[in-house]
Structure 1
């Protein structure tokens, strides 16, 4: 898919170089580096153009492939269980790290008070449980597509894919082949868009660094370091340990295969944009069946956000320490619950995560300081996205292994489709 053409022909390497050059240019040019912002915007727009149709057809394809086997329910439940559990553990780790390393204690606020505002106060009402459930069910699926409401699209496409799998064989197969052909066409388009990724990444980085400079980063430097350490623990210790415990895949092989999707995730800060690369690596290099990958990975790119969960937990602790707010057990539980639910509700596209607001409000922590973080949201976003897609892939490998270990059913002839 992304063919290796020596070191510099590798898109991952190009992207990393573009990030470094963009950071340098931003640091040197300051505010005027925002002239490169359109490059980043064009790239993000191209990605967003392709993401919704890709997710829709990939989920229909995955659900149709799974629906014809007996393991569909098992896959669905174990996938959701995995995502929920790992997100909750992620917040718990973040809270632990925050309490131990105290990133918000003794922060020098001079020079950044101007960034404090109360603009975000109304953005963070956490929807109730029933509101969330109702919000997932589209009343008009074309409107959901139009508004890019990923959760609603997901619900409809899952339902539709399972329905397709229930048709008799001679009517079902041409439909599934057609959907798979569309997936392949979309993947080709995404590959073409990825060719301009280094330019886009350069523009995004130059703009971010130039506009906010390193002074903003210095204030939250300790938070940033603790955050990166938490992400590394989760990505390089926790997930590989789960792979070792629950699958036959070697953790080292898994980590090695994940390098390419992680580079794309770092640069685009979008689980969705990385989806085709993650799917390709899971199927070609980690041996995950296409039906499992097409189901677990788009679902994961939408609702599995352990990186975001770590971020929410740490930010809550950071602001609580910064504003000297004492957190009781109730506040910690509120943070864990809100972060886990919030991480599920955050669709996999880049942008400031207003769910942080919900998390802070749930625990009674002041939110005036948020613009400080939104300034650096891009940098945080890139790192947590790399962890999110690692979790998606880990889930795909583990779930695929569980089905293969289960009672063997007679497999239906599956179209030899590879994303």
Structure 2
């Protein structure tokens, strides 16, 4: 996977340069910079083209690898528990930092009032629990594939992968080998698309800055700084601490290995597009078994969104402070619950996140200022994606150690090696 080590060694630098140049071009050209928007659109469309088939075959492969293991149920519950816990802690950290640094206090809205809009008010409805459960079960899997319904695809592919694992060995192995071959082909396609990542990032930044201008950027600049601080704490303190406590892997080695996937995540702003690079890092450099990585990482790319959870919590605090709204304990609880559920439901593809609307509405915070965030949405998206895939990898490392210590797993290993 991604054999071009030279590209991987420089892609982070290329993306940063592309962002800076795109920002400069957007500032100089203004609305005319929208002429570069197709570069970003082409890049995003190519990424989205590969997302659905990649996650489908990767989950089938992972579920098939785990399905015949006695550890499958434990792995599933532990993975979901990890994702839910880390998302909730992420929101709590965001609320704490928002109250300490107060990014929304004293914000000067002069010159950007025209960006205020209530057009997104109808996008904030969260479905009930049973509606969510029913919504995860596809009635027509081909329709789910066509509509890119990630959660429905996830459910079907998990079920199908486990079913494959229950077949006789002579019937099962050729099918699983075929699925793995498709994964390899998808990885090759991702590698090719990644070569134009800097061009895509340049087009996206030039268009965003040219459309919104520096005045809009400066309004949310303090929010952005606090957000980056929370991301750094979570990615370089919290996750390495969990690695130290719950696994045998060195946190220093973990952070060193994750530089490559994080660079790809920054350029694509897509957990799904980064999936093959994250899998390579976990399997080849962190020692995670393929069956564990193929299950945990695609699942994480779909539902593990700690970076999004931090974003939701900080945005809620930002607008509450900007509109001088005092939040009580019930509002904080509403933000934590809604942000955690919203993060789980956020698909791992790039684009503006309207789930923040639900978070704001749950705490009674006005949403008219939401368009203010769109000027920096691409940068927010890139940074939170880098944290998301770091959390996926941390979970895979921890779950892999947990499975390795399982006596039943050790017995299975002896049978397979005999």
Counterpart for residue 72 of structure 1: 72
Counterpart for residue 279 of structure 2: 279
Contact 1:243 1:394 in 2 (8 A): yes
- Pairwise mapping of residues 15-414 of structure 1 onto structure 2 (< 5 A)? 15-407=15-407, 408-411=410-413
Once the two structures are overlaid, the 10-residue window that deviates more, 210-219 or 116-125, is 210-219
Contact 1:16 1:263 in 2 (8 A): no
User: How much has 1:260 moved relative to structure 2?
Assistant: 1.1
User: How much has 1:387 moved relative to structure 2?
Assistant: 0.6
Contact 1:90 1:306 in 2 (8 A): yes
User: d(CA) in 2 for partners of 1:318 and 1:292?
Assistant: 39
Contact 1:4 1:10 in 2 (8 A): no
Contact 2:254 2:286 in 1 (8 A): yes
Gaps of 5+ in 1: 415-419
User: How much has 1:9 moved relative to structure 2?
Assistant: 6.7
User: d(CA) in 2 for partners of 1:86 and 1:213?
Assistant: 35
Task: Kindly tell me the number of residue pairs found equivalent between the two proteins.
Answer: 414
Counterpart for residue 417 of structure 1: none
Query: What SS is found at the alignment partner of 1:2?
Result: coil
User: d(CA) in 2 for partners of 1:67 and 1:80?
Assistant: 17
| C-alpha distance 409-210 of structure 1, shift in aligned 2 (>3 A) | farther
**TM score, norm. by length of structure 2:** 0.96
Once the two structures are overlaid, the 10-residue window that deviates more, 379-388 or 201-210, is 201-210
Contact 1:79 1:399 in 2 (8 A): yes
Query: What SS is found at the alignment partner of 2:167?
Result: coil
Once the two structures are overlaid, the 10-residue window that deviates more, 20-29 or 153-162, is 20-29
User: How much has 1:5 moved relative to structure 2?
Assistant: 5.3
User: d(CA) in 2 for partners of 1:280 and 1:192?
Assistant: 16
Contact 2:209 2:375 in 1 (8 A): no
Once the two structures are overlaid, the 10-residue window that deviates more, 402-411 or 247-256, is 402-411
Contact 1:104 1:317 in 2 (8 A): yes
User: d(CA) in 2 for partners of 1:139 and 1:38?
Assistant: 36
Query: What SS is found at the alignment partner of 2:148?
Result: coil
User: How much has 1:404 moved relative to structure 2?
Assistant: 0.7
Contact 1:244 1:251 in 2 (8 A): yes
User: d(CA) in 1 for partners of 2:234 and 2:300?
Assistant: 16
- Report the RMSD for the aligned CA atoms in angstroms: 1.4
Contact 2:22 2:205 in 1 (8 A): yes
Contact 2:12 2:266 in 1 (8 A): no
User: How much has 1:213 moved relative to structure 2?
Assistant: 2.2
Q: Which has the higher helix share?
A: 2
Deviations 1:233-252 (A, max 9, x none): 00000000000001111111
User: d(CA) in 1 for partners of 2:158 and 2:8?
Assistant: 40
Deviations 1:290-315 (A, max 9, x none): 11111111110110000000000010
User: d(CA) in 2 for partners of 1:66 and 1:6?
Assistant: 34
User: d(CA) in 2 for partners of 1:9 and 1:363?
Assistant: 44
User: How much has 1:7 moved relative to structure 2?
Assistant: 7.4
User: d(CA) in 1 for partners of 2:386 and 2:355?
Assistant: 19
Gaps of 5+ in 2: none
| C-alpha distance 136-8 of structure 1, shift in aligned 2 (>3 A) | closer
User: d(CA) in 2 for partners of 1:138 and 1:277?
Assistant: 29
Contact 1:65 1:165 in 2 (8 A): yes
Query: What SS is found at the alignment partner of 1:119?
Result: coil
User: d(CA) in 1 for partners of 2:337 and 2:301?
Assistant: 20
User: d(CA) in 1 for partners of 2:198 and 2:223?
Assistant: 28
User: d(CA) in 2 for partners of 1:396 and 1:313?
Assistant: 26
